[in-house]
Chains A and B, each alone.
Chain A
Amino acid sequence: MTHNLILRVVSKTLIPAIIIFALYVQFHGDFGPGGGFQAGVILSAALILYALVFGLDAAEQVIPPTLLRSLASLGVLIYAGVGVVTLFLGGNYLDYSVLGSTQIAGQHIGILLVELGVGITVFAVMLLIFFAFADRGRP
């Protein structure tokens, strides 16, 4: 078990850092390179690292696949929901300007919300793909 010790210690140090980096990329997407898709992939990479080092069962206990499916649908519904809200507030679909008091505030809120939806869905789907492939080998 000693050769796993280095992996376990290093990954325990790195996984929180990866998660924080993913959140940074998510919320700075409107000002620098980043956004929902990149953040979702980085966040799922953190959990895949956990699954690789500590085993698939431990990872499935952290996030059960049924919760992942609901998260994937939730993200898409957040995105579509933002558009529907703008419809009801009087603008065209996905017209973020009506979401806030000024046009710039509205655009800011709108982009943050849709990127959040994208990030949640991408994170859930990447993990689902990993779990689907990894579950295939087990009896």
Chain B
Amino acid sequence: MMQEHLSLLLVVIPLAAAPIVAILPRGRLPWAMTLIVTSICAILAGMQLWGVVHEGAISYELGGWAPPWGIEYRIDAVNAFIALIIAGIAAITLPYALLSVENEIPEDKIPLFYSAFLLCFAGLLGITQTGDIFNVFVFLEISSLSTYALISLGRKRQALTSSYQYLIMGTLGATFFLIGVGLLYSQTGTLNMADLAKLLPDVIDLKTVHTGFAFILIGIALKLALFPLHLWLPNAYTYAPTVITVFLAATATKVAVYVLLRILFSVFPNGFMSTTPTGDLFIILGITGIIIASVYAIYQDNVKRLLAYSSVAQIGYIALGIGFASASGLTASMIHLFNHALMKGALFMAVGAIIYRLGACRMTDIHGLGRQMPWTFAAIVIGGLSLIGVPGTAGFISKWYLILAALEQQSWVAVAVILIGSLLAVVYIGKVIETLYFKPITEKNASVKEAPLLLLAPTWGLVFANIYFGLNTELTVGIAERAVEVLGVTGK
């Protein structure tokens, strides 16, 4: 019985667990229940991906109403892949969260923290599972509202202003998305994504449809933190509690990329994107994002802020791949989605271990800490090498495929920018490593011990995943190519 309801259980289990966790008494019980829920969801997501790869797309009708009148959960290779990323990252963050949350969040707020975390998790999974475009908006808002609340729980008072800024920008983006959905509905009369794909080619020349497309694109670009709509991201990642930064950096923007891929290639007919300047726009914004964000990262004083700007640059790489609109470009973007989640997850976890021991992570605070915390330092080194794109790590695979896609388009500017981006990454990662290892150790840092095992184990889990998926690319490349086939994009 569970097999047929698999895609639904992925959303319902965290959603039903959230109110239960909110009323649990203090202690370790909320953490334990969240750990169980995320582990179950990770296993279910793995089963779902296996089912989709071997048996084909799944369609689940909510309420027994057939689509297009009812809401449909439609899973194919693209969603299943993203759902696995989200559930896997959440499952590996929970053991890390036990000590980190107790260190940073006041004790009486911990049950509400985990409840909001489960709501955010359910919202993100809901966006990936659903096949109805208004349902995407609803789950987008569920995950966004819980994110605003979670970010504001950071220790410093800047967490409040960061959360407020993200609230204003995020709500504007979601409302733009809603306007776009409304305009599309007014011309086709349906909200189901598969049905829209059937009905849109008849009305594709109307200005209303083009306007709706533009509104949806802007809304998603805001959630994606595509340059220049990225202004909320550095503040939000820097001042949020560590666990939230790890989870958000590895999942929230990936889900926005998924929605973008659905809109561009599944909902709108395949040739539509090339009739608009969307492809060139993404290439230009991707290139500017990579260069400018990497340069900003070099001048940052706070390590978390540096990694946040690095995230904006990585999103620029993904946008570049999408902008090419060819099979190899999309494959490169999907591979980079997966690898970036692993890279940034590992890096933010390692920096979180430093914050756990030290309470701060500015460049002036972490002199010489690498010698006191060797395992954490090694994790930062390997994560940094993956970010740069050194062969043997996951980052190299995605950069390689991206360069192949750019060469296929004969876009020498893009190839140059990708290589320059890696060089800039060398500079800012090198800055962090130099401060951690080669600067003389300060008195305050001389007595710092290594991070506890419960923080190190998930970090090294992600680091080993980085190395494993850098050497064995069968899973990531295979599924990415399968997903691109499903989206219906052939080489250009």
Chain A interface residues toward B at CB < 8 A: 69-70, 72-74, 76-77, 80-81, 83-84, 87, 91-97
Contacts and interface: CB of A to CB of B under 8 A. Distances in A.
A83 B71 CA distance: 14
B63 A73 contact: no
B19 A77 contact: yes
Nearest to B23: A73
* Candidate in A72, A73, A93, A94 with the most chain B CB atoms within 10 angstroms: A93
A44 B12 CA distance: 28
A94 B22 contact: no
B5 A87 contact: yes
Q: Nearest 5 CB-CB pairs, A to B?
A: A95-B64, A73-B19, A80-B16, A76-B19, A94-B63
Contacts of B61: 92
B62 interface: yes
Given A87-B5, A92-B60, A93-B63, A77 B16 contact: yes
Given A73-B20, A73-B23, A80 B62 contact: no
Interface string B1-25: 0000100100010011011101100
B15 A93 contact: no
A72 B19 CA distance: 8
Interface of B: 5, 8, 12, 15-16, 18-20, 22-23, 60-64
Contacts of B22: 69, 72-73
Given A91-B64, A93-B63, A95-B63, A77 B8 contact: no
A70 B24 CA distance: 10
A95 B71 CA distance: 12
Contacts of A97: 64
A20 B421 CA distance: 65
A94 B16 contact: no
Contacts of B18: 76
Contacts of A95: 63-64
B370 to A, nearest CB: 45
B23 A69 contact: yes
Nearest to B21: A73
B255 to A, nearest CB: 22
Contacts of B60: 92
A8 B63 CA distance: 47
B59 to A, nearest CB: 11
B20 A77 contact: yes
Given A74-B19, A87-B5, A96-B64, 15 more contacts: A69-B22, A72-B22, A73-B20, A73-B22, A76-B15, A76-B16, A77-B16, A80-B12, A84-B16, A91-B64, A92-B62, A93-B8, A94-B63, A95-B64, A96-B63
21 contacts: A69-B23, A70-B23, A73-B22, A76-B15, A77-B16, A80-B12, A83-B12, A84-B12, A91-B64, A92-B5, A92-B8, A92-B62, A92-B64, A93-B5, A93-B8, A93-B62, A93-B63, A95-B63, A95-B64, A96-B63, A97-B64
Contacts of B8: 92-93
B483 to A, nearest CB: 26
Nearest to B60: A92
Nearest to B111: A69
Nearest to A103: B64
A84 B19 CA distance: 15
Contacts of B5: 87, 92-93
